[in-house]
Structure 1
Amino acid sequence: MRLSRFFLPTLKEDPKEAQIVSHRLMLRAGMIQQSSAGIYSWLPMGFRVLKNIERIVREEQDRAGALEILMPTLQPADLWRESGRYDDYGKEMLRITDRHERDMLYGPTNEEQVTDIFRSHVKSYKNLPLNLYHIQWKFRDEVRPRFGIMRGREFLMKDAYSFDLDYEGAKTAYNNMFVAYLKTFARLGLKAIPLRAETGPIGGDLSHEFIVLADTGESEVFYHKDLLTLETPEQENYSATELQEIVDQWTSYYAAADDMHDPENCDVSAGDLVSRRGIEVGHIFHFGDKYSKAMGAAVAGPDGKDVTVSMGSYGIGVSRLVGGIIEASHDDDGIIWPESVAPFKVGLINLKSGDDACDAACEDFYGKLKTATVEVLYDDTAGRAGEKFAKMDLIGLPWQATIGPRGVKAGMVEVKNRSTGEKQELSVDAALEFLVGRG
């Protein structure tokens, strides 16, 4: 993509309304624009990152055996009345009446909707276990939306829902999603810590939050220092026993948010206890028959008798992760994207646009990167060198390749690693081979 043809409305100064790093950098890097309080338009740069995160989340859900569907954003209130949550949910739910005076709502979550789908079509235990998920926009009418997309009213979320015949099956489904989340966050370049959590309005008796460590995080997290030395599971299929062993291993180490941490009665020695800031990016729940019993979601068991199914739900804040990654990975100059989610892998800088030799060298290098299917943003504009470098640092592409008059004469390209700042002078062919190997 040529920068001269790309829509990238960057800002040089920090916006006054931005209180946290991710909000400030997303506005400055031309990723989003506020439409109204807590609601944003995603501009091309931000949308590319959002879709990359969505792709990784989807791939790991598919690998875990979940089946993708798509449920509507607007739901009938009657479904929520069946579960008893319509009146209990509070003012965060946006309630709507359509032209036929039917009560509707903009979905903040989908337990009722998916339970209705299940009870309409699944009648036998032979169709279990089943896990259905979708990636859809949600709306919660926050009383004080703030921090950009980190606490907005409209957000993109992956939510999955498992259905099993009994508790043991439901526990295996829960553990399967627990492991899938570990894999997902590792692929996103994040260090995630699972914390035992309250179930809140979702309900149930088992719940974990997944917290991403970031110095600018919203809450303080305490954990055993050895927790982050655990290796992320890589195998695609695990038995129920293996899943339980992995979950037991990760949850055996102390980890607690500040509201759950009791320094006077903590069993972890001061030398082993680490304190960091963190951001919640995922939450999983097992809630048994809370919804299936209220809504009549039962199947014929092996003996022919009806059995109310046991359920769980599993959420990942896809749009929130964009901000979470920035909070965890940035410096004074801007964003530092992990390669797995970067909007482009390489930023190509022409130091002297309009110079025939520089233009020809950059065009050739750009064409070869594209042929090798490396996602590249080519700064072919007439800006000054300092402005180009600052913009590339701001938008945070993992690699920068710079070609100027001296480099053209020497047949060299300067390659910079955005994360480390390390630079190296490479021949054109060596630079191409190096970047293709990482693209």
Structure 2
Amino acid sequence: MRWSQTFIPTMKEDPADAEIPSHKLMLRAGLIRQLMAGAYTYLPLGYRALRKAENIVRQEMDNAGAVELFMPALQPIELFERTGRINSFGNVLIKFEVTRRGNKVPMALGPTHEEVVTDLIARHISSYRQLPLTVYQIQTKFRNEERPRFGVLRTSEFLMKDAYSFSTSVEQLDDAYRKMYDAYVRIFARCGLEAIPVEAESGPIGGDASHEFMIPASAGEDSILRCRDCGYGANVERAETGRKRAKAAPPAADAKGIAEIATPGAGSIDAVCKALKCKPHKMIKTLIYKADDKTVAVLIRGDHDANENKIRRALGAKTVELADEATILAVTGAPTGFAGPVGIKCDIIADHDIPLLQAAITGANKVDAHFVNVCLGRDYQLPVTAEGDYETFDLRNAAADDPCPRSAGKLELVHGIEVGHVFKLGTKYTVALDATFLDEKEQRHPIIMGCYGIGVNRIIAGLAETKHDENGLIWPMSVAPYEVLVVPLNVTDPQVMEAAEKIYTQLKGQGVDVLMDDRDARPGFKLKDADLIGIPLRVVIGGKGLKDGVAEIKWRTAADPVLIKLDMTVNEVTQMVKTARQ
């Protein structure tokens, strides 16, 4: 392709409304243009990179045994009503009505395709002999993103690869999950991305297996914790800590006695700290939950956040939610904000940090009052295990510098961009939409599902966010819009153009994806654009080099070019491209 015959509107300056590097560079390099908030046009360079990423995804899905299909973006609202997701999606679901034969027909633009694919399988799969099956598509999704930002990282319209596995057993699901997980590792490696698989929270339905693939980036809106020593990684909602239970021991002999202090209007950690001139880590936060039908008090250190999924697992409950005001009043005798473990009228579970807090500050289970000098073993009790430890649990969100749960290392907090997610879904949708199979004994069971998504746009944005320098983008060969850029320095010089045309034509003949900058522009301007758009390999023809019978060959990341004889340029560049492809 010749630059003069395509559409690459580069920009010299950063756009004023672009916040992060990927957004700035994708606009400046002429990859995208915004139509409205949350909707972008992919220009030729951007679309070529997107399609190359899409092809890598497709190849690896096919290699993993998944079967491609293509489902409608238009979806009937009735499917969302049957699964209950019409409420959980809320305003994110783009809903509308169309008139057909005088009737209003409610529809939605597909934010994802669990309902559609499950309905399809329910109509055509009836026997265990037809399973397992994994299907996938690469299709545009629509979500009403209320705060679209960061260019194509958060939009209302985006390209996604979504795959769905259908199995008769947990063993079949595990096999499908592993194939998809391994395919994702290969996809992101081939795309040149550092995508870290981290454990993610999957909720009470669908088992405990769920992994997100995160690109470490300062602009990432997700937080992950990872250990560099052993490679453990998880998002904040899922991350475990390596903290241990403490040995049960009586309070110190010189411990001060418990005392009640008036704290009028101080119903929050910050307010109590201000009133009592103390620090949050000296306080015990007592949260009242309803776990299924049981009321439980959860003790967390004042400067930490409770993790409801960990609480649910510790209690063996299907659901947990914060108790209502009436329940809190019933078990504490006080409104929200004044609960404490001393004399509380419900069961207690505590985080691992709690036994380490002696002379703690807690709510007094009385309005406008708190206790100081509260001691475990004297003022309130926790169960003790057979090993002599307090029975405590990991109940809070992990934080930086917590011990790793897998090794002797420590966790570090990293911001990340989610680019993929694999998830054992279970039977949530197959039960709701009556997707069942008959086993060998002619007994009917719900099909077991897994779902697996990749944000194809995010592959491109993630590369732009993490692969650039002060001059512009740095594309990996696998998804670069073009592999080689041929730059004749003076297009009005017949000798320059003769040499450039010959190299350009022969590289194309060798199957190299090549762009030639045939614009009549200053050499410095063209070379700056070359760095900005980030094509991996550049061939410069003209000036003194042409007189000496050589071309300048330069990798985008190299400090200096190398000189190669003109008659050897095509062979050398072709071999360099083939090596880089591998």
Normalising by structure 1, what TM-score?
0.90
What per-residue deviation string (whole Å, max 9, x for no partner) do you get for residues 150-189 of structure 1?
Answer: 0111000000000000112112111111111111101001
Could you say if the C-alpha distance between residues 202 and 150 of structure 1 is closer, same or farther in structure 2, counting changes exceeding 3 Å?
farther
Written as runs of structure 1 = structure 2, the 5 A alignment for 1:338-377 is: 338-377=476-515
- Structure 2: give runs of 5+ residues left out of the alignment: 240-397, 578-582
Asked if the contact 2:71/2:116 (under 8 Å) is kept, the reply is yes
Asked if the contact 2:540/2:551 (under 8 Å) is kept, the reply is yes
Q: Which residue of 1 aligns with 2:178?
A: 175
CA distance in 2, matches of 1:204, 1:271: 28
CA distance in 2, matches of 1:355, 1:295: 69
Q: Which residue of 2 aligns with 1:93?
A: 93
Written as runs of structure 1 = structure 2, the 5 A alignment for 1:161-240 is: 161-199=164-202, 205-226=208-229
Q: Which residue of 2 aligns with 1:438?
A: 576
Q: Which residue of 2 aligns with 1:267?
A: 404
1:305 is aligned to 2:443? yes
CA distance in 2, matches of 1:54, 1:267: 36
How far residue 36 of structure 1 moved from its aligned partner, in angstroms, is 1.0
1:140 is aligned to 2:143? yes
How far residue 405 of structure 1 moved from its aligned partner, in angstroms, is 2.9
Q: Which residue of 1 aligns with 2:535?
A: 397
Asked if the contact 2:225/2:399 (under 8 Å) is kept, the reply is no
How far residue 276 of structure 1 moved from its aligned partner, in angstroms, is 4.2
Partner of 2:123: helix, strand, or coil?
helix
Q: Which residue of 2 aligns with 1:242?
A: none
Asked if the contact 1:215/1:328 (under 8 Å) is kept, the reply is no
Q: Which residue of 2 aligns with 1:84?
A: 84
- Structure 1: give runs of 5+ residues left out of the alignment: 228-252
How far residue 271 of structure 1 moved from its aligned partner, in angstroms, is 6.4
Asked if the contact 1:205/1:287 (under 8 Å) is kept, the reply is no
How far residue 267 of structure 1 moved from its aligned partner, in angstroms, is 2.6
What letter is aligned with 1:303? Answer: K
How far residue 363 of structure 1 moved from its aligned partner, in angstroms, is 0.9
CA distance in 1, matches of 2:520, 2:457: 34
Q: Which residue of 1 aligns with 2:49?
A: 49
Partner of 1:51: helix, strand, or coil?
helix
Q: Which residue of 1 aligns with 2:371?
A: none
Partner of 1:99: helix, strand, or coil?
strand
CA distance in 1, matches of 2:401, 2:546: 65
CA distance in 2, matches of 1:116, 1:75: 11
Could you say if the C-alpha distance between residues 135 and 304 of structure 1 is closer, same or farther in structure 2, counting changes exceeding 3 Å?
same
How far residue 262 of structure 1 moved from its aligned partner, in angstroms, is 2.7
Q: Which residue of 1 aligns with 2:19?
A: 19
CA distance in 1, matches of 2:400, 2:26: 37
CA distance in 1, matches of 2:83, 2:28: 44
Q: Which residue of 1 aligns with 2:33?
A: 33
Asked if the contact 2:404/2:411 (under 8 Å) is kept, the reply is no
CA distance in 2, matches of 1:266, 1:327: 30
What per-residue deviation string (whole Å, max 9, x for no partner) do you get for residues 245-276 of structure 1?
Answer: xxxxxxxx421335643346423778675554
What per-residue deviation string (whole Å, max 9, x for no partner) do you get for residues 316-357 of structure 1?
Answer: 000121101111100110100000000000111111110111
CA distance in 1, matches of 2:528, 2:152: 24
How far residue 205 of structure 1 moved from its aligned partner, in angstroms, is 4.0
What letter is aligned with 2:554? Answer: K
What letter is aligned with 1:403? Answer: I
Could you say if the C-alpha distance between residues 43 and 201 of structure 1 is closer, same or farther in structure 2, counting changes exceeding 3 Å?
farther
How far residue 285 of structure 1 moved from its aligned partner, in angstroms, is 1.0
What letter is aligned with 1:255? Answer: G
Partner of 2:12: helix, strand, or coil?
coil
What letter is aligned with 2:234? Answer: A
What per-residue deviation string (whole Å, max 9, x for no partner) do you get for residues 363-399 of structure 1?
Answer: 1111111111111110111110110010000000000
CA distance in 2, matches of 1:286, 1:277: 25
Task: Give aligned-pair identity as a percent.
Answer: 45
Asked if the contact 1:38/1:152 (under 8 Å) is kept, the reply is yes
1:118 is aligned to 2:255? no
CA distance in 2, matches of 1:92, 1:43: 27
CA distance in 1, matches of 2:413, 2:427: 37
CA distance in 1, matches of 2:70, 2:155: 22
Partner of 1:303: helix, strand, or coil?
coil
1:292 is aligned to 2:292? no
Could you say if the C-alpha distance between residues 139 and 201 of structure 1 is closer, same or farther in structure 2, counting changes exceeding 3 Å?
farther
CA distance in 1, matches of 2:118, 2:505: 51
| More helix per residue | 1
CA distance in 1, matches of 2:184, 2:542: 44
How far residue 306 of structure 1 moved from its aligned partner, in angstroms, is 1.1
Partner of 2:535: helix, strand, or coil?
coil
Q: Which residue of 1 aligns with 2:254?
A: none
Q: Which residue of 1 aligns with 2:367?
A: none
Moved more, 357-366 or 420-429: 420-429
Partner of 1:190: helix, strand, or coil?
coil
Q: Which residue of 1 aligns with 2:545?
A: 407
How far residue 22 of structure 1 moved from its aligned partner, in angstroms, is 0.7
CA distance in 2, matches of 1:131, 1:436: 38
CA distance in 2, matches of 1:135, 1:361: 42
What per-residue deviation string (whole Å, max 9, x for no partner) do you get for residues 12-65 of structure 1?
Answer: 111111101111111111111111110011111110000000000000000000
Q: Which residue of 2 aligns with 1:426?
A: 564
What letter is aligned with 1:141? Answer: N
Asked if the contact 1:348/1:376 (under 8 Å) is kept, the reply is yes
CA distance in 2, matches of 1:85, 1:163: 20
Q: Which residue of 2 aligns with 1:8?
A: 8
Partner of 1:186: helix, strand, or coil?
helix
CA distance in 2, matches of 1:204, 1:5: 54
What is the aligned length?
414
Could you say if the C-alpha distance between residues 202 and 191 of structure 1 is closer, same or farther in structure 2, counting changes exceeding 3 Å?
farther
**Cα-Cα RMSD:** 1.9
